[in-house]
Amino acid sequence: MAGRGIKTRQIHKDVRAMDKAVIGMEKMKHAYIQTKDGMEEGQTREKTTPVKYAEEQISRSTESAVIKTSRQIRRQGGKAVEALKRREPLSTSIKEKPSSLSLGGAEAPPGQPKEARGETARMQARRQAAIKRITEQRKIKVREALEQSRTIKTLDERGKALRSIRTKTKSVKTVEQTSHKAVKTSRQAARSAKMAAKATAKTAQRTAMSARKAAQAGAQAAKVAVKASIAAVKAVIEATKALIMAIAAGGWIAVLILLIVILFGGLLCMTGGSHSSAVLPVSGEVEAYEPVIRRYAQEYGIPEYVELIKAVMMQESGGQGLDPMQSSESGFNTQYPRERGGITDPEYSIACGVQELKACLRSAGVESPIDMERIKLALQGYNFGAGYISWAKSNYGGYSVLNAAEFSERMAEQMGWESYGDRQYVPHVLRYYVFGRIQTGAGSGEMVQVALTQEGNGGELYWSWYGFEEEVEWCACFVSWCADQCGYLDSGMMPKFSLCSDGVEWFSARGRFEDGSYVPVMGDIIFFDWEGDGGVDHVGIVESVEGGRVYTIEGNSGNTVKRRSYSLGDSRIYGYGVPMC
């Protein structure tokens, strides 16, 4: 029974309760450490991640940690404190039950020696020291619990501070965004002002350039007018000479024709009409042969065609060499070999050439020196041979640039040659013929015919012909190519140009450029300004004018050759170049 009296169940219960408090405190401490680490980690993330993300993470982590820690402390600390309050002091329990501590009390049971009683006192002292030590530890734990509670309050206050900082950060961010927008608006305003200033300067520059070009065009027009007057005088002189010779020969019909030509041609040249053109002069060598030409023309019954014979000689040789009319291969050559350069007598060459030209004029049905359509047929026959005249009349009813090219290709293939004759022989000769340059107002039908055959084609043929190795904007190349097919480039009727502005300058310099109010004719060159900024962006060929609209053929229209139309006076029409034909 004595053993039962010294059981320490109460002590163990108290110690077990204290252990639970200690465990609770440890959990509380661990939660605090986790909270602190989470806060430090959140602060580190704030430096390395976007501000908004860091603020939200810190706020959520702090609030969660505080709530969890508070709950655990309240749960564990509360239990520990309540347990301690319900327990009575260990010493009181012991005093109230001395019989249960007979082996450890101050007094020993009767009959025991003093040594036993001393040993029991020492044991009791040790137990009391242990109880005191446990009590002190309990007080320390309670004190730590209170400190933990204050720490939780501090953490809660810190969380509020963080939320305040986040609010202030948002305010600062809003201010920064407002400032940035204000700076951006100011920069845009400055940029707009700068662009407006550039546009104003550019407009002024273009205006000045246009004024300079107008002045240059005026000066060139004056020069052209002087040249036209000189050409007119020369034309009148040449026609007068022909008239005198015709009168001497008794050709009164020819005299009447020449009078009409002189009056009409002279009046047109003197007035300087927009389509007037100068005749290119023949060389001094050709002029030196004029008496011989006139003698043989009279002899073979075509005295009114002296000027045409001179134009043919100019194209054939320029009056140089032993065969100035290049008539060695003519059927009228019976004295020399019928091969190129066979004739070695210039006068005999002229005699054969005059007879050959007379035969061509008769075969073509030419009626007068101004019967230009049949003269063209006769001239191309002089170059290709009389066989062309009958072929062209039977197949096409007469001459055209296209059928001349077709005949040349057919004959070259038949003969096995690379080329045959000069397919642009007609315009080459007529640039020297005074009566062939009188304008009828019909325009250049040949160039329109050529352009129409190219409808639907791409641009490689034209820009590669011009000399470009890779594709460029080829509308001007197309116009130049068409002009070349008609012989207009060699004759000086048209310029070869790849830039639209160069074409405008060429026509302006010769007084042959008209503005958008002009009513064009077939074969005129039309220039466009798409953007309305005074620059030239596109060019084409006028096909016709009908019903208040101008119909065109344009290269590089949707990257093909295409027919289009515009209202007369359309604001996009920059102006027109008038070929010298």
More confident residue, 450 or 237: 450
First to last CA, the chain: 151
What the block records as the tokens of 569 is: 């006076």
Judge whether 273 and 331 are in contact, CB under 8 Å.
Answer: no
In terms of C-beta density within 10 A (0-12 exposed, 13-18 middle, 19 or more buried), how is residue 265 classed?
A: buried
Residue 468 per-residue DSSP state: -
pLDDT digits (tens, 9 = 90+) for 546-565: 988 999 999 999 999 999 99
More confident residue, 111 or 471: 471
Average pLDDT over residues 460-477: 95
Quick one: pLDDT at residue 239? 53
What kind and span of H or E run contains 556?
none
Amino acid residing at 401 = V
Q: pTM score, two decimals?
A: 0.46
Q: Where are the domains of the chain?
A: 2-195, 228-440, 449-577
Quick one: pLDDT at residue 517? 86
Question: Given pLDDT bands bounded at 50, 70 and 90, which one contains residue 318?
Answer: very high
pLDDT digits (tens, 9 = 90+) for 387-433: 999 999 999 999 987 888 899 999 999 999 998 999 889 888 988 88
The fold for domain 449-577 equals: endopeptidase fold (from Nostoc punctiforme) (3.90.1720)
What kind and span of H or E run contains 563?
strand 562-567
pLDDT digits (tens, 9 = 90+) for 129-162: 878 887 787 778 777 767 766 766 666 666 666 6
Integer Cα distance of 562 and 540 in angstroms: 10
Integer Cα distance of 152 and 146 in angstroms: 10
In the chain, the percentage of residues whose pLDDT exceeds 70 is 55
Helix or strand or coil: residue 70?
helix
Q: CA-based diameter of the chain, in Å? A: 195
CATH architecture of 228-440: Orthogonal Bundle (1.10)
Q: Which residues, including other chains, have CB under 8 Å from residue 177's CB and lie 6 or more apart?
A: none
Judge whether 165 and 52 are in contact, CB under 8 Å.
Answer: no
What the block records as the tokens of 437 is: 């340059």
Q: CA triplet 570, 574, 579: central angle to 5 degrees?
A: 115
